[in-house]
């Protein structure tokens, strides 16, 4: 009889006790709004921003209502206007092009490589062929490209980079933390990311003008002096008159939940990577399945894993998905013609102009994705890889 996995791919660990206790203190005090403090009190959100800036190495950090809001805030701070072209990955999640569209921009999609990173040759061509002055770089599913070469391409053409680090909080390229290469970086604390506040996000930057605009945009009114991981007051003197309030603040309740999680993040990353390596090792040399080898320069956070079935037909992939699902293993496919749950393709986002990405089409046609929640053990990861291996091998050998 075939073994069946009994775990849940959507079950997260509980909020740490220290976070629950901190949240209770905030609720008992009633001052959930980040600017609602008494004399001598420092808001939980302001403290979290300081701690997040220190963790990432950024000069400035801003807590926000979501990662998607953080991306939109960055684009507005950079001056993206209606009709402006913004380069971005052809392989990403819908909130990325959605943020471009929300500010009136026009997404221009860049091909993906078989390593699931942005195609730098295609990027260089598009930089030369378009008048785009911003790249919204999605480190999709935690895969980081050669950041030195990417920045060489963008800096040489005067293209500003916003890094979407929703899947790379805690990751790095050659020891430089994800988010530290571009002009601004956005992070998410939505439940399925590396810290969990239900919804939430951060924006980081070393640029005082950009961060001053972002803080005003986030809804600080004239209370920006209550921020600690922020530029000096003089950075706000001009921008406060011309920057609209597009409220998207983080509140003290979410910040209280997140502060203990941030302190524990290095240990959690080690746990994710143990799960990732167990699944990766279990799937190596599976007939018909291609492992995506990670470069030595990349420090990963293995909260999900992706593999390719490059020679499988849609029907064969459907058979693998169904068979694994029957045995309790939940795989997602990015090659389907119809969006399902969070999986969608660039041609699903019909608010963007139609574009042709043949390499991306080919790669996504065989791309499978799987979450690795920390409620799993290494033994669970080995069982999951055994099930996937058996079902992929069965379908491959039957063809």
Instruction: Flag whether pLDDT at 367 surpasses 80.
Output: yes
Query: What is the third-level CATH fold of 17-259?
Result: 3.40.640
Identify the band that residue 399 occupies on the pLDDT scale cut at 50, 70 and 90. Answer: confident
Rounded distance between C-alpha atoms, residue 146 and residue 128, angstroms: 19
Section 108-128 average pLDDT = 98
Length of the chain: 399
Predicted local distance difference test score (pLDDT) of residue 197:
98
Predicted local distance difference test score (pLDDT) of residue 2:
86
**Domain ranges for the chain:** 17-259, 265-398
Q: Give the tens place of pLDDT for each residue, 249-304.
A: 999 999 999 999 999 999 999 999 999 999 999 999 999 999 999 999 999 999 99
Q: Give the tens place of pLDDT for each residue, 274-285.
A: 999 999 999 999
pTM of the predicted protein model: 0.97
Give me the DSSP letters along 357-399. -HHHHHHHTTEEEEE--TTS-HHHHHHHHHHHHHHHHHHHHH-
Q: CA 93 → CA 99, 132, 287, 349, distances in Å?
A: 11, 21, 29, 10
The rounded percent of the chain whose pLDDT value lies above 90 is 96
**Mean pLDDT, all residues of the chain:** 97
Identify the band that residue 338 occupies on the pLDDT scale cut at 50, 70 and 90. Answer: confident
The answer for 121, left when phi > 0, alpha when psi is -120 to 50, beta otherwise, is alpha
* CA-wise closest residue to 310 among 341, 335, 273: 335
Identify the band that residue 145 occupies on the pLDDT scale cut at 50, 70 and 90. Answer: very high
What architecture is domain 265-398?
Alpha-Beta Complex (3.90)
Section 363-375 average pLDDT = 97
Give me the DSSP letters along 158-170. T-EEEEE-TTTTT
Q: Give the tens place of pLDDT for each residue, 92-107.
A: 999 999 999 999 999 9
Identify the band that residue 35 occupies on the pLDDT scale cut at 50, 70 and 90. Answer: very high
Section 342-353 average pLDDT = 92
Q: Return the exposure string of 72-99: e unless at least 16 CB atoms fall within 10 Å of the residue's CB, then b.
A: bbbbbbbebeeebbbbbbbbbbbbbbbb
- 3-state DSSP helix/strand/coil percent for the chain, to nearest 5? 40, 15, 45
> What is the three-class DSSP state of 8?
coil
Measure the CA angle with vertex 204, ends 247 and 83; round to 5°: 60
């Amino acid at each position: 009889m075939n073994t069946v996995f009994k775990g849940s791919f959507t079950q997260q660990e509980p909020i740490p006790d220290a976070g629950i206790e901190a949240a209770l203190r905030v609720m008992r005090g009633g001052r959930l709004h980040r600017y609602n403090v008494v004399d001598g009190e420092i808001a939980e959100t302001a403290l979290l921003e300081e701690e997040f800036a220190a963790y990432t190495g950024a000069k400035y950090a801003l807590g926000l209502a979501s990662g998607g809001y953080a991306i939109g805030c960055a684009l507005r701070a950079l001056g993206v206007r209606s009709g402006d072209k913004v380069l971005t990955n052809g392989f990403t999640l819908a909130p990325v092009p959605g943020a471009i569209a929300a500010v009136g921009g026009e997404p221009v999609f860049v091909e993906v490589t078989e390593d699931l990173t942005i195609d730098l040759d295609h990027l260089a061509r598009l930089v030369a062929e378009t008048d785009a002055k911003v790249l919204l770089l999605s480190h999709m599913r935690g895969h980081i490209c050669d950041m030195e070469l990417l920045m060489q391409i963008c800096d040489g053409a005067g293209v500003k980079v916003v890094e979407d680090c929703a899947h790379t909080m805690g990751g790095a390229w050659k020891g430089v933390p994800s988010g530290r290469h571009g002009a601004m970086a956005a992070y998410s604390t939505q439940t399925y990311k590396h810290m969990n506040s239900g919804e939430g996000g951060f924006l980081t930057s070393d640029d005082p003008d950009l961060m001053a605009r972002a803080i005003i945009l986030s809804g600080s009114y004239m209370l920006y002096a209550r921020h600690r991981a922020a530029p000096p007051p003089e950075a706000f003197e001009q921008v406060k008159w011309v920057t609209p309030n597009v409220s998207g603040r983080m509140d003290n309740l979410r910040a209280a939940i997140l502060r203990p999680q941030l302190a524990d993040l290095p240990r959690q990353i080690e746990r994710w990577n143990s799960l990732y390596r167990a699944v990766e090792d279990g799937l190596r040399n599976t007939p018909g399945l291609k492992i995506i080898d990670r470069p030595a320069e990349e420090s990963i956070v293995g909260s999900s894993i992706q593999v390719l079935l490059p020679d499988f037909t849609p029907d064969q992939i459907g058979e693998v998905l169904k068979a694994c699902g029957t045995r309790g293993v939940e795989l997602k496919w990015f090659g389907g013609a119809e969006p399902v749950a969070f999986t969608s393709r660039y041609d699903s986002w019909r608010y963007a102009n139609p574009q042709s990405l043949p390499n991306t089409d080919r790669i996504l046609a065989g791309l499978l994705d799987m979450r690795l929640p920390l409620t799993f053990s290494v033994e669970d990861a080995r069982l999951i890889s055994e099930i996937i291996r058996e079902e992929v091998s069965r379908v491959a050998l039957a063809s």
